[in-house]
Amino acid sequence: MLNAHKDQLFLLIKSLTKAEKRAFTLYVNRFQSGKDTKFTQLFDVMSKMDSYDEETILKKMKGVNKPNLANIKRHLYKQLLTSLRLIYIQKNIDIQIREQLDFARILYGKGMYMQALRLLDRIKKIAVDHHQDLLHLEILDFQKLIEARHITRSRLVENKMEALLEEAAHRSKVTHSSNLFSNFNIQVHGWYIQHGHVKNEAEVLKASEYFNTNMPSNLISEQLTFFEKAHLYQAHMWLSYILLDFNKGSLYAKQWTNLFDGAPAMKEKDPVLYMRSLYYLLVFYYLLKDEDGFRNYLNKFEHFEATHWNRLDDNAKMIGFTYLNLSRLNFLYITQEYSKGQELIKAIEKELPHLETTMDLHRILLFYFKFAYLYFCAHQYETALDYLNEIIHLKTGYLREDLIHNARLLHLLCHYELKNYNLMDYLIQQIERLFEKAKEIGQVPRITLNTLQKLLRTPPSQHQSILKDFHQELKTLEKKPYEKKSIQYLDILAWAEGKI
């Protein structure tokens, strides 16, 4: 599952729905007999394949050699995208605007610049209504070009040219400002990816200074556009996450979500951004163990998914599936309804193979970790190990350090519960080497590893005493601000309490 072939054309064909395949067939047969063309033959062959095999393709397509096949594949890829564009032009407002902009350029090239101007005026309003700032600026630039090079009689209309120039100047400032806020959001998120969470007061000051230094200077919140506010709230949310201030992070995530409640049409226009806002708000509620807040926004998420599913494109469906089901699993950890979780896992596993070509590997393995954690909580340790082995034995791909560390510790705890003590000694040595190389690791994982070493070296009759001391250490660490996340994502404290 985790090593799917990456041939771009094959992945595109396998992603097509029945309706999209039917539309492609109709498209290629409009002006010619599709059956007589090599690229349609290639489409038919590849549609029936379960995995990409070039030798099989060459055998089935007589008279085609390897160099020719590369050209046919390239042509088929282009034709598929053209066909898909015709379908999605009704669903994506930016594609609609771009098509009209292309039509205006064609009219201009034919010398019909007055018709081009009238078309640009029509689509400019659509761009403004849908917050398409870059396209709005492109339309204005084209209007200025026509006005500068041709006699359009626009100067006979009072203040028309001045209004056009003023609108262009304002839109240029808005676009530049939006770009600054987008960069700012990416920079703060990048800081987290590079440095992780703060571990001491010095790092708190460093992260806060970085945030304040890079924040755009033109910060008058009343004048910001929808997307500028969205980027600003995300940047604040990421800073709070870096600083482990989950209360403040939840407030900024909620402001981000509330933006869509104030502009409901944006839920339709950018459903992915809306679902991201819901997901991150739910992450903070999970970290805060706020069951009521979590239930409220999980219900909102489920309602949105149920009412909008048929209107979402494939990418939005994949993101909705990922974020919603990760949230559902997190909610089960809060409520401790582990039996319900096993039903949910079966439903998720049924869908995962359909998303393997588009979903990031890290997210697939994050699902595996959450499956394993849920089975561990339900005392089904053998089943938990099956999922953890998928993570631990991964040969290629990049995973976040915290996922690897938590998976390793959970793996070790499963073997302890199964009394596989001989194997544990070998595993502990591996984890010690892993922790030595780690960029970011808290005290909780370290003392957990040390405790498991002690348990291995002492008779079972003395385990209760060691576990009681371990539990007391964890209770002390729980109060330390820089250990919050370690305990929340792998609740070693709850395990220790269960053992004593």
Model confidence over 75-114: pLDDT tens digits?
A: 999 999 999 888 887 777 888 899 999 999 999 898 888 8
Establish if 2 belongs to a structural domain.
no
Establish if 201 belongs to a structural domain.
no
User: Do residues 105 and 68 both lie within one domain?
Assistant: no
CB neighbour list of residue 47: distance below 8 Å, 6 or more residues apart:
13, 21
Structural Rg of the chain based on CA atoms: 28
Query: What's the token pair of residue 280?
Result: 């991150």
pLDDT of residue 11 exceeding 90: no
Distance between CA 33 and CA 55 in Å, rounded? Answer: 27
Model confidence over 436-479: pLDDT tens digits?
A: 887 667 788 888 999 999 988 888 888 889 999 988 988 888 77
DSSP state for residue 482 in the 8-state scheme? G
Which own/partner pairs from 463-466 qualify as long-range (CB within 8 Å, at least 24 positions apart)? 463/499, 464/499, 464/500
Least confident of 36-40, 167-171, 234-238, 483-487: 483-487
Mean pLDDT of the chain: 87
User: Do residues 463 and 383 both lie within one domain?
Assistant: yes
Establish if 189 belongs to a structural domain.
no
CB neighbour list of residue 112: distance below 8 Å, 6 or more residues apart:
none
DSSP letter string over 48-80? T-SS--HHHHHHHSTT--HHHHHHHHHHHHHHH
Domain limit, last residue, from 138, 157, 176: 157
User: Do residues 492 and 369 both lie within one domain?
Assistant: yes
User: Do residues 315 and 426 both lie within one domain?
Assistant: no
Residues spanned by the domain of 325: 262-342
pTM metric for this prediction: 0.80
Query: What's the token pair of residue 427?
Result: 């595993």
User: Do residues 457 and 491 both lie within one domain?
Assistant: yes
Establish if 324 belongs to a structural domain.
yes
Longest Cα–Cα distance in the chain: 98
User: Do residues 338 and 439 both lie within one domain?
Assistant: no
Establish if 251 belongs to a structural domain.
no
Distance between CA 238 and CA 189 in Å, rounded? Answer: 6
Domain limit, last residue, from 69, 88, 107: 88
User: Do residues 396 and 493 both lie within one domain?
Assistant: yes
User: Do residues 31 and 142 both lie within one domain?
Assistant: no
User: Do residues 365 and 497 both lie within one domain?
Assistant: yes
pLDDT of residue 189 exceeding 80: yes
Domain limit, last residue, from 342, 376, 404: 342
CA distances from 71 to 8, 67, 77 (A): 14, 7, 10
Distance between CA 112 and CA 56 in Å, rounded? Answer: 52
Model confidence over 110-156: pLDDT tens digits?
A: 888 889 999 999 999 888 888 788 899 899 989 888 887 876 766 65
User: Do residues 490 and 400 both lie within one domain?
Assistant: yes
Q: What total of structural domains would you count in the chain?
A: 4
User: Do residues 429 and 320 both lie within one domain?
Assistant: no
Establish if 26 belongs to a structural domain.
yes
Distance between CA 248 and CA 227 in Å, rounded? Answer: 21
User: Do residues 366 and 496 both lie within one domain?
Assistant: yes
Establish if 230 belongs to a structural domain.
no
Establish if 182 belongs to a structural domain.
no
